[in-house]
Amino acid sequence: MAATPDTLRDPAPVRWGLRGLVVGYVVLLVAWPTALVFKNAFSDGVGAFLDTFSDPEVSHAIALTATITVWAVLINLVFGVVISMLLVRYEFPGKRLLSVLIDVPLSISPVVVGLALMLVYNGRNGWFGPSLQDAGVQIIFSTPGMVMATVFVALPLVIREVVPVLQEIGDDQEQAARSLGANGPQTFWRITLPAIKWAIVYGVVLAIARSLGEFGAVKIVSGNIVGQSQTATLSVEQEYQNFNQHAAFSVAAVLALAAMLCLVVVAILRPKEEQA
Amino acid sequence: MSIKVSGVTRRFGDFVALDDVSVDLPTGQLTALLGPSGGGKSTLLRIIAGLESADAGTVEIEGVEATHLPPQKRNVGFVFQHYAAFKHMTVAKNVAFGLEIRKRDKADIKDKVAELLDLVHLSQFGDRLPAQLSGGQRQRMALARALAVEPSVLLLDEPFGALDAKVRKELRDWLRRLHDEVPVTTVFVTHDQEEALEVADEIVVINEGRVEQVGTPDELYDAPANDFVMSFLGPVTSLRGQLYRPHDIEVFDHPRIAGAVPAVIDRQLRVGFEVRLTLELLDDPGHEPLTVTVTRATQRHLGLREGLEVWLAPTHGAPAVPTLPRSVELVG
C-alpha cells in the first residue's frame, strides 16, 4: 500500500483528536473499569485472592459454571453445525423462518428467556414440567434447566460464524468429493469440516465466553440456591450484595480472565484462518 | 453407446432448462456439448453425473440404468469450471482422494498418484497446496483427480472457461493429446465453437433446452441442420433467403456468371491476409447488407475498392441454409 498523499489526509489536530477520542472512550468504558476489578481482587494480595476460592460455596459455583458451560457449548457445537448445514446446503419450507428464529436469542433479554423456559418446564403448572417431574426429571431449579437457558442465549454464535463460511466455500468441493465416490458422511468429515474448522473454533470460543457470563436467564431458572444451583455470576452478585466485596471482585476477576483468555485464543487463531 | 440419455426434461421454476432431450454419446470418444450460455448443456452434464436430477427421462451409463443412482455410485469423473480443488489438501492428496475413499492399498495409491501427476506434468508440485498453483495447473490437477478413480466416463464442465486465452489454448491441445493417450469416454461442455471444432470427435449442439444437431465437426460445419447451428459455428451472411459463410460468396468484376447478382462495395476492412467487404445489393435496396470475405490477393487482382460495382455468387457446393424464421420452421 502506498502512503496516503498528504493532501488527502485530515490535518494533524483532527487526526490526533479522533485518536484521543476513541482511546479515551474505550479506556473509560472498558479498560479502566475492568482493570479496577482486578485491582480490587488483588488488593489484599494473591493469598487473600486465593482464599476466596477455598470457600466451598464459591468453588461449587465456579465448578457449576464450568459444567454448564461445557454442556451448553457441546450442544451448541453439534446443533450449530447441523443447523448451519441445513440453512446453507438444503432447501426446505420454513427455512427463512428458522433463520429468523435463530437470531431471536440475540434480541430477546435473557431474563425473558428464563421466564419462558420457566413457563414450559416448571414442575407445578408448566407445559411439560409436571409430566417430566413425574418421570423423575427435574429441569427447573437444577442443572438441565440452567444448561438449556445457556444453550438458548448462546445458540446463534456458532451458527453465525459457520454459515457465512459455508456460503463462501460453496458446494463445488463437496460435489467433487461425491463424484469421486465419497458418501455423505465421508464428504462431511473429509471436505466440509476441514474447510469450516476455524469458523467452528471461533464460534465455540465466543459461545464459551457467552456461556461463562450468562446471568439473567440462569438466575430465573436456577432458583439461585447457594451451594446447589448457584453459578459463578450469581455468586458474584450475592457476595456483592452481602457486602463481601472482596470475594465478589475475586470471582469477577476469574470470570473476566477466562473470557479474556478466549479472546486471546481467537486473536491467535485468526491469522491462521486467513492463511488457510 | 457409453452414455444414453432418453427424454430428459429439467425445469427450474418456469424456466425449461432441458426439453425432452435424447442423445447417445459413443464410447471412447471426445464429445463436446456446444451451445450458448443458459442453453442447458451444463445442466445435461450435471444430470449425467448425478449432481442434478431430471424431472423426467432416463440416463444410462455403460449399459447401467443410472437415473436414480447417487453421483458416488456412477463411476464418473467430473471436472468443474472453477477447479473445485480441495483447498486444505496437497496436490498429491487431492489426486489420491478417490482412491483413499475406495480404501486402496497405500503403496498402490502412491504409485497411481505418481503416475497421474506425471501424466498431467505436475510431478514436482505434489507437495504444494492448490492455492500455490496457477489456474491451468489447478485444472490439470482436477483432471488427474478425476482420472484416478478410472471412471467409465469423464465429464468436464467448461473446463477451460476460467483460464486466460493462451493457457486455454494450450490446455485444449493437451486435452486432445491426453484423450488420444487415455481414451476414456469424455464429454465436455463449452460455449466456444472453436474449442469444440478443434478438440471434439463429435459435437452435440444444444440451444434453449433442445438438441439442434449431432455430428462430427466436419458434418456440422459443412451440413448444418438449420440456421442456428450454422450461425453458432461461425460467421454467416444472408443472400436472397439463404445463409452462407462470408468466404463462400465469390466476387466477380463481370456479370457473366449464371445467377450472379449485382452489388456495390459499401465498405472494406482489411485484417491481415483477409479483406472484409460490406456490400449493398443493387437490384434489392431493402436487402440487409452482405458481408463477404476475400483474400488480399483477390482484392488486389480485382482492384476492389469502396463504391465499385461487382457481381456476387455463392461458390459451387457451399453450405447454405434457408433463413426462415424458426417458428415457421418448427410448425412445418
Q: What is the mean pLDDT of residues B237-262?
A: 88
Residues from chain A that touch B150, judged by Cβ atoms under 8 A, are none
| d(CA B101, nearest CA chain A) in Å | 6
Residue % of chain B over a pLDDT of 70 = 97
Contact between B189 and B200 (Cβ < 8 Å): no
> Burial, B71: exposed, middle or buried (Cβ in 10 Å; 0-12, 13-18, 19+)?
buried
B86–chain A Cβ distance below 8 A for any pair: yes
Is residue A246 a contact partner of residue A38, using CB atoms and an 8 Å limit?
no
Q: Which has the higher per-residue pLDDT, B326 or B215?
A: B215
- pLDDT at B329 (0 to 100): 41
Would you say the C-alpha torsion A82, A86, A87, A88 has a positive or negative sign?
positive
| Dist. CA B191–CA A49, nearest whole Å | 73
Residues of B in contact with A172 (CB under 8 A): 80, 82-84
pLDDT of residue A186: 94
- Paired with B212 in beta bridges are none
pLDDT at residue number B201: 93
The residues in A 92-111 lying below 8 A from B, measured between CB atoms, are none
Strand partners of residue B312: B251, B261
The residue assigned the cell 472498558 is A30
Report yes or no: A231 and A238 within 8 Å, Cβ to Cβ: no
Closest alpha carbon to B235 in A101, B227, A253: B227
pLDDT in single tens digits along all 276 residues of chain A: 455 566 677 888 888 999 999 999 999 998 999 898 898 888 888 888 888 888 888 888 899 999 999 999 999 999 999 999 999 998 889 899 999 999 888 888 999 988 888 888 877 777 777 777 777 777 788 888 899 999 999 989 999 999 999 999 988 999 999 999 899 999 999 999 999 998 999 899 989 998 998 888 888 888 878 778 888 888 888 888 888 888 889 999 999 999 889 888 888 877 665 554
> Phi first, then psi: what are they for B40, rounded to 5°?
110, 0
Q: How far is B100 from chain A (nearest CA, A)?
A: 10
Task: State the pLDDT at residue B326.
Answer: 47
In angstroms, rounded to a whole number, what is the distance separating the alpha carbons of residues A60 and A51?
14
Query: Is the minimum CB–CB distance between B87 and chain A shorter than 8 Å?
Result: yes
pLDDT at B330 over 90: no
- Mean pLDDT check: name the lowest of A6-20, B105-119, B148-162, B307-321: A6-20
Q: B108 pLDDT band (50/70/90 cuts)? A: very high
Distance CA B328, CA B93 (A): 56
A190 and B84: CB-CB below 8 Å? no
Residue B86 banded pLDDT, cuts 50, 70, 90: very high
Q: Tell me whether A83 touches chain B (CB under 8 Å).
A: no
pTM, to two decimals:
0.79
Q: Least CA distance to B79: which residue of chain A?
A: A176
Residue B187's closest CA among B58, B47, B318?
B47
Nearest residue of A to residue B85, measured between CA atoms: A173
CB contact under 8 A, A176 and B77: no
Are B80 and A176 within 8 A, CB to CB? yes
Please name the residue of chain B whose CA is at the shortest distance from the CA of residue A195: B88
In the three-class reduction of DSSP (H, G, I as helix; E, B as strand; rest coil), residue B204 is classed as strand
Which residues in B lie closer than 8 A to residue A198 (C-beta atoms)? none
Q: Which of residues 183-242 of A touch B (CB under 8 A)?
A: 183, 186, 190-191, 194-195
Residues of chain B contacting A183 with CB distance shorter than 8 Å: 70, 72
Nine cell digits for residue A42:
488483588
pLDDT of residue B39: 87
H or E element, residue B95: helix B91-101
Minimum distance, in Å, between the CA of residue B21 and any CA atom of chain A: 23
pLDDT digits (tens, 9 = 90+) for B292-312: 999 999 999 999 999 999 999
Return the exposure string of B268-301: e unless at least 16 CB atoms fall within 10 Å of the residue's CB, then b. beeeeeebbbebebeeeeebeebbbbbeeeebee
Q: Which of A179, A182, A183 sits opposite B49 (nearest CB)?
A: A179
Residues 6+ apart with CB under 8 A from B297: none
CB contact under 8 Å between A175 and B80, yes or no, is yes
| CB of A259 closer than 8 Å to CB of A211 | no
The whole-number pLDDT of residue B325 equals 56
Hey, what's the torsion of the CAs at A259, A262, A264, A269, to 10 degrees?
-160
pLDDT for residue B327: 44
Out of B83, B88, B98, closest to residue A276 by CB: B88
The C-alpha atoms of residue B230 and residue B213 are separated, in whole angstroms, by: 10
Q: How far is B69 from chain A (nearest CA, A)?
A: 11
User: B212: distance to nearest CA of chain A, Å?
Assistant: 29
Please give the average per-residue pLDDT across B50-57, as a whole number. 92
A162 min Cα distance to partner chain B (Å)? 17
Angle CA A265–A267–A272, to nearest 5:
95
DSSP three-state, residue A80: helix
Count the Cβ atoms, other than its own, within 10 Å of residue B74: 25
Q: Do B146 and A180 touch (CB under 8 A)?
A: yes
Cell of B241: 433467403
Q: What is the mean pLDDT of chain B?
A: 89
Partners of residue B51 in chain A, C-beta under 8 Å: 175, 178-179
Write out chain A residues lying below 8 Å of B12, CB-based: none
Question: Can you say whether the dihedral through the CA atoms of A157, A158, A163, A166 is positive or negative?
Answer: positive
Partners of residue B149 in chain A, C-beta under 8 Å: 180-181
CB contact under 8 A, A173 and B84: yes
Inter-chain residue contact B149 with A181, CB threshold 8 Å: yes
